[in-house]
Each structure stands twice: as structure tokens, then as C-alpha cells.
Chains A and B, each alone.
Chain A
Amino acid sequence: MTCMATRPIDIAPDDAAPSGGSSLHRFANPGRFLRLSESVLPWLTAAAIVLTVTGLGWGLFVSPADWQQGDAVRIMYVHVPSAWLASAGYVSLALCSLFSLVWRHPLADLAAVEIGPVGAGFTALCLATGSLWGKPMWGAWWVWDARLTSVLVLLFLYLGHIVLVRAFDDPVRGYRAGAVLALAGVVNLPVIKFSVDWWNTLHQPATIKFTQAPSMTSDMLWPLLIAALGFTLSFAAIAVARLRAAVMERRIRGLLMARAVSR
């Protein structure tokens, strides 16, 4: 229980894992995370760049134009992956919040802080590209239908989390408050997913479903799937890089503090 009070992440040497006793805490060790991520991150980044460039290049320049939408269909190759990451990113934020709140996982605290802005960025990209597509196709930049509104709520949840975790002098209180907000916001995810099925919306229902074949030809589906995978790895690479920086920043601050005290 002492680990809870002192937040060992500040000055913990590499293998001094928080003594929570559970096997989960093996992964809470920031030193282990730094070593592991150091070898994984370059590969993750390289794969993210290759897949994103391949998927977007194929989608934006090679894939066929739609019979109705013409070249405007190419916005989809950015819009759909970023929409997927907006929701999937929120799931990862909520999981970190759960570990932070229940298991007092110090790395999860920092991960939630670092995932927030990345998720907000992808959500903003999703809304912006959707708006650019909506004007020529629907005839409106924005409508207040259930899908668009629930994704806007998701952006506000991200922004609220970003502000809330930084709003306290004591960072631990910020982590707690942010985690509560993030977990409460999970209720929005099924609303986003099923809004197009539950209510009449201007936004079209899902093209790619788990239960049946996608309503899209393969020369449009492949670049979309590759771009989606590329976006996912990019999200992971950015989040890991940010988390590494945050852990190292904590350590430096802890070391400076220790030196100032010992003088």
C-alpha cells in the first residue's frame, strides 16, 4: 500500500517494481516499459509509416472513383480510419483509466494523459474530413444527426479529459478525476456505433460489418483496410513515443528533486 502514496514512478530504479503483489504490476514497471519500448518503437514507427503511405497512396491516387461520388470518395480513405481510431483510441483511454482507478497502475496514469491529445487529434480529423465530404455530397457542412452529434460529444470528452487531468496541483488527483470522466464517457461509444441503426440519420450505416460481406468492391476495400491498419499503428507509435517521453521527464524531475534535497 505504500506504493500508492509515494508514486514510485518518480525515482524508481529499473527493477524496483511497485510491490502490489499482483502479476499485473510486473507491467507497471516504468523501467521495463522503457527497455521494451526502446526496441519495439523503431519497428512500430517504420511499419506505421509504410502502411499509412501505402494505404493512402493507393486510396488517393490508384483506387477507382465511385460511380456516384466521383473523386470525393477518396476522402473516405482518411475519414474512416480516423473515425475508427477516434473510437478505438477512446477504448484504450478508458482501459488505462480503469487500470489507473482500480489497480493504481502508475504507468496507466501517464498513458491516459498521453493518449488523450492523440485521440482528440484523430477525432478532429474525422470530423473535418467528414465535413469536407458532406458539403459536396449531402449539400451541408454539418447536420445535427445522431451520428455526427455523438462524435462531436466524443471530441468534447477528449478535450475535457485533456483539461481535467492537468487542472490539479496534485497530479494524482488529476489522474483520478480524468479517469472518472473517461470511464463515464464510455457510454457514448455504443451510441456512436449504433446511432445509424437506432435512429434515422443522414449519415449512412456501416459499410464494413462483422456479419456480412462489405458493400464495397475489393479495389476500394484493400486500400481502406491498409490505411486503417497504418493509422492504428501510427496511433500506437505516437502514444508510445509520448509515454516514453513522459516517463523520462518524470525521472529527470525526480532526480533533480533528489539532488536538490540532498544538497
Chain B
Amino acid sequence: MTRKHRRLLIVLVFGACIGSAVALTLIAFNDNLVFFVSPSDLSKMAVNGRTLRLGGLVEPGSVVRGEARNAGTTFRVTDGANSVVVTFKGIVPDLFREGQGVVTLGALRPDGTFLASEVLAKHDENYMPKEVAEALKKSGQWKSESEALPARPLSAPFGKTSGG
């Protein structure tokens, strides 16, 4: 075995050690590495009022914007199997739409609803010009993320609470 071969062997063994160490660490911390949990995960978890992130699709037709000042926005977050009612008092991002992915930060209240202090919109990996999106909708080939209803923008995203 020449010195080059020995050095190559050391590098390979060293790499295998680091690789398996990192792999084991990542597997061990799997639960902490997910950015959000789905409504189905949430129903199985013992959360005890802990702050966590809940992610899923905004259920079409579920968005209710409060009329009163500071009433906030209420909507259901669904993953197809389960859904959770979320209340949020801030300003939702531009991409917040029915049928669109969102990630909310907050805690589950005793009544089973989720009080969010932050709502982030999740964008999917599909990119499409406006004209193509409209043509697809016209021809009936449109598939939204939820596969149920076409994702449509809310006409007035912030309702009457946007003044503050």
C-alpha cells in the first residue's frame, strides 16, 4: 500500500464516520427538524398548550374575516384527513388564499381551536404565467393544490380590519 492509497483510505473512512454520525443525528432529531406539523399529526400529539407550527391547506370556503376591529381572520387548515380551526389577528400575507398552503405559528387552545400569532404562506413548486393559468381554468384542466376547488384570490384579503 503506497502512502497515497493510505491517505485515500483515511479520507474514505473519515468520510464514512462523519456521514453516519450526521445521518444518525438527523434521524434522532427528526421530530425537531420538521418545520410544521399537519392537522393529523396534531390530533395524535399531546401538545399541552405548547407553541408549535401547524401547516396545511386553507380549506376552500372556510375563511371568515371578522367585521369588528381586531376580530381577525378565522379559517380551517386541512391536510385532507383532518382539519383545525385557526384564528389569527394579524395581517395575512399576499399569497394567503383559499386552497393555498399556509404555515401558522401558535398554540392549541382547550376548545380545540388554534390561536395563531403568525401566518406564513407556503408557495408550491409550480410556476406558471398568468395567461396559462387562465387558459387552464377555461379549459377545465385546472388543478389547484387542494384538487377540490380552484385556488382563487380573496377579493379583499384583509377585510375591514386592515386599517390598523
Contacts and interface: CB of A to CB of B under 8 A. Distances in A.
Contact of B35 (A68, A102, A143, A180): A143
Contacts of B132: 67, 217
Question: Which of B7, B92, B123 counts the most A-chain CB atoms under 10 A from its CB?
Answer: B123
Binding site secondary structure of chain B: mixed
A210 interface: no
A136 B94 CA distance: 7
Given A65-B130, A207-B127, A183 B15 contact: yes
Interface residues of A, number: 43
B149 interface: no
A22 B2 CA distance: 12
Interface residues of B, number: 41
The 9 closest A-B pairs by CB, nearest first: A139-B93, A64-B129, A67-B133, A145-B35, A216-B127, A200-B34, A215-B126, A207-B125, A67-B130
A184 B21 CA distance: 11
A219 B129 CA distance: 9
Contacts of A140: 118, 120
Given A139-B120, A184-B18, A102 B7 contact: yes
B33 A204 contact: no
Contacts of B120: 138-140, 143, 202
A199 B123 contact: no
23 contacts: A66-B127, A67-B129, A67-B133, A68-B123, A98-B11, A103-B4, A136-B93, A137-B94, A139-B118, A140-B118, A146-B34, A184-B15, A184-B18, A191-B26, A199-B33, A199-B35, A202-B35, A207-B125, A207-B127, A215-B127, A216-B126, A217-B128, A217-B129
